[in-house]
Structures are given as C-alpha cells and as structure tokens.
Structure 1
C-alpha cells in the first residue's frame, strides 16, 4: 500500500513557509542573498521549489530571519522530510519531473476533483485500457518502458483504497467513454471497471452526456487537489500538447473549482451516470 505522506507536499509547504518568513522580516531575496553570500536569484529559486534545499541551508535562512527554538527545529525537520524520496521514485527511469510532482500531490491529497474530456482519468483506468493508451499515444515506446509506466499507473490507483482515502470526484465527458481505445473487449472491461470503482464510498463518477450541449469543460481536463493540513494550500493542474502547468494562486484554483461545480451541475447524477455507463457497456 502506498504511503499517504508525500515529500512533495512537505517541500511545497517548506518553500511557502520560508517565503512567508522572509516577507515577515521585510527583506527582499537580494537582501537575504547578500546576508548569505549568494544571489537573490538562488533564494527565489528555493522559495519557488525550483532548487532543492538542505536542512543546513534552512538553518542559515532561519538565522537571517531570527527564527529560533521549537519553530526553527520544526522547519529543519520539515526540510529533512522534504528530502525523502516518495515511492514513485522507484520509477525514476520512466517518469518526468512534472509527473513526480503530480504523483506527489496526488499521494497526500484529501480531496481530488478531476474532469476529463477525452479519456478516462488515470486513477480510473483498467490495466488493458491504460496499456492501449501508452502504446497508442507513444508508439515508439519499447515494451519494457510501457510496462514500467503501466506499473506506476496501477500503483497510483492504490491511493483510492488506502485506510484514509481522498474524497475523489470524477467527471467525464461522454466523448471520453465513446472514444475507442483498443478493441470492444478493452472498452467493455473499462466501463465495467468504472462501475466497480464507483462503488467505493469515497469515489463519485459522473458523466456529461452529449445531450448536455455546450459546457464549461469543452476545452481541456483539469485536476484540483486539496490537502489535510491547512498549511498546504490547494493546487490545480492542467495539461495540453505543450506541457503541464500547476496553478497555485488562489484565484487560479478558484476558477477551476467554479468550473468543476458547473460541470457537476451539467452532468448526470451519480446514479444516472451508473445507468448510462452500464447501458454503454451493453451496447459494445
């Protein structure tokens, strides 16, 4: 079973706390850099998470900010925790840095809201469907790489079955279910898998039928992660052909949340969605 403690979330929290402490000290990144004999750019990269930081570096920053005692000890320990490697690092050979961040956030989320327009979300994919996606989208991948990526995807799904699972809400456009991935057997198995996973008490699956017409999500899919600790602010994630983006400003996350609520209203109820998916499986 995968761990619910994520170094990715710890690192993000540490960066945010260091930034808040600098601002509370009324210092710029350049001023801090001069105190420590480095550039302001380095301090900025540390705060944005683009540059790793050691516990000793954290202690030096805290000295500049005049933070001592238990609070300093807590932040240094947080730095140690942030330097740990999550279970997903076992797949280092086949996963990008962006994907490591995504899986790290997913691993500790207390709430996941995911809308997909074109394919079944990774956490809901049956193994044959996921394999067909890997082989179809990236036909140049060798068999070993496909198998490794498939193993990672299946491992990620354990987050839905852990002792304290996230409240996971998925909304799928009908197109995601109609788009044929593999043969009839693969699609039927995928639809059956959706019905099975939708029975979990922490999982909700809704479908937006074509009959709903134009709606908020006709551009692209997105995910919103919330976390159990109030110090860890919510994150939204979007992806397109060019790459993936993590949105951390409150206004950006709120836009995704508003969109998700509109999509939820446009979708069939969870019961209606189960009937819809079941009927589709019978048609194949």
Structure 2
C-alpha cells in the first residue's frame, strides 16, 4: 500500500519520539503497550507517516517522564502535514487511528476506509476545481494509507452502514463498481468489520439527518463527526452524541444484517 508524503515537522516529531523512547531503553513494542497503541501505529508515528493522536504526550508522561512529555507537546505544536488529507479532516483522522469502535453511515459516498483505488480515483476525477496531478496522486495515496487501520487494529470494531443507492449509482462505471463490491465483500469478511446495506425501500428510515460517524475512544468516550462541503464538525456534547448513537442503533435494525448484506452484494456482482 502506498504511504502518504510526510512533512518535515512530522518527521521531526517522529525523531523526537524515538529519541525519547530510546533514552528510556524501551522497544517500540514495550512503549506501545504502555501507552495503549499498537506497535505498528507507534512505528509509523516515529517514521513520520502518521499524525500523532492529541493525547500522546499525556499518555507518554508516566512512561517517559514529565520533561519528555513537555518536549512532545512542544513538537506537536509545530506539526504540519502536506499529505492529501484535508486540513479540516486531520483531527478526525487522529481519532480514527485510536478508536476502539467506529460507526459510519453514508448516503452520499462510500466511506473512505472502504473505497478501492478505482473508486477513489473516480471521486477525485470529479473534484471541482480540478486537482493538479501532484494533488490528485497525493490524495489517492493518503486515502489508501488510511485503510490500513482495518488490518492494523484487529481489536477495534468497525461498522459501516451504506445506502444501496450508492451501489446502484455505479459511479465510475461497471469496472469501478465491480471493484467496489469486491472490496466491500472482502472487508466485510474481516472479524472486526461489519458492512450493512440499507435497502432502497425502507419506509421507516431514521437516517433523514444525513451521514454521520461515531468513534469510541480508548477511554470509552463517544465522539460524533459530520462532513459538509470542504468542512467538518466534531461533536463532543454528550447529549448530542447520545442522540446520534440512538439514531444509529435504530438504523442498524432497519438495514440488512451483515450476512444478508453480503448476499445482496454477491447478487449484484453476479448480475453484472
């Protein structure tokens, strides 16, 4: 899988973290275990290939000491990232990286974590104003790199609810739709991933409010997320997030089960 371009400040942060970890004599695996992240995630932060989570310094302080935590906070303040992830998406991307549960409902476009490369390219080809070739390839690479979460976090639960209309639309044509359906079947077969299709006809539908994403943090706090036109909103108000969770639970009961969803996808694939 292609890794995204990294900025100098991300590389610097990674070097600082590695030096502080080495100073304590801890391996990546030992440090990762003590701060509650996977070794692969820590490795990519040290390589400058992942944006560090907001609470890394806080988690690292009992392990590396207060001075090290102070240095990490200072390095974090200077971070920039020139990869294809939009600036307004960075905070949610960091939350995704450490979520123990992730819920997604989409009625506009297939969730980014489930998009195969042909589908990603079909989306960015229709971006206005048009992207430069460098921007185009950078954004494709960044989106593909994010998808490693499904493999790297086998103990996290991912639930995706997708409107059948998104498949019937056939964005990008038959070959792109074939690749999309194949990928949904492949990812949905993972033990930690569920893919549910909301059928075209559903008279009792609780999704009129539009797409929504929900993440459960390692401290079991739920955070909501919405996207608009080149903008986003994190929702941390407990009452509002509770309302989102209730709507999501209702919709999960209205959508096809993961098994029935897979059967529908196989039927759609075979009918093409």
Which runs of 5 or more structure 1 residues have no equivalent in the other structure? 15-69
Return the match for 1:248 from 219, 232, 236: 236
Q: Kindly tell me: are residues 265 and 79 of structure 1, through their superposed partners in 2, closer, same or farther at Cα, counting changes over 3 Å?
A: farther
TM-score by length of 2: 0.73
Larger Rg: 1
3-state DSSP class of the match of 1:212?
coil
Q: How does 1:106-255 map to 2 (within 5 A)?
A: 106-138=96-128, 140-162=130-152, 164-230=154-220, 233-241=221-229, 243-255=231-243
* Whole-Å separation in 1 of the counterparts to 2:152 and 2:52: 18
Which runs of 5 or more structure 2 residues have no equivalent in the other structure? 1-38, 46-50
* Whole-Å separation in 1 of the counterparts to 2:207 and 2:69: 38
Structure 1 stretch displaced more, 192-201 or 234-243: 234-243
User: Is 1:9 the equivalent of 2:54?
Assistant: yes
Aligned residues: 223
TM-score by length of 1: 0.70
Q: How does 1:54-65 map to 2 (within 5 A)?
A: none
Give the CA deviation at 1:176. 1.9
Residue matched to 1:279: 267
Stretches of 4+ moved more than 6 A in 1?
73-76
Give the CA deviation at 1:165. 4.3
- Contact 1:116 1:173 survives alignment (8 Å): yes
Give the CA deviation at 1:167. 0.4
- Contact 1:10 1:78 survives alignment (8 Å): no
Give the CA deviation at 1:278. 1.2
* Whole-Å separation in 1 of the counterparts to 2:216 and 2:66: 22
Q: Kindly tell me: are residues 76 and 226 of structure 1, through their superposed partners in 2, closer, same or farther at Cα, counting changes over 3 Å?
A: farther
Give the CA deviation at 1:242. 6.2
3-state DSSP class of the match of 1:7?
coil
The alignment's C-alpha RMSD in Å is 2.8
1:124-163 CA-to-partner distances (Å, cap 9, x unmatched) read 0001001111111335111221111010111100011015
3-state DSSP class of the match of 1:137?
coil
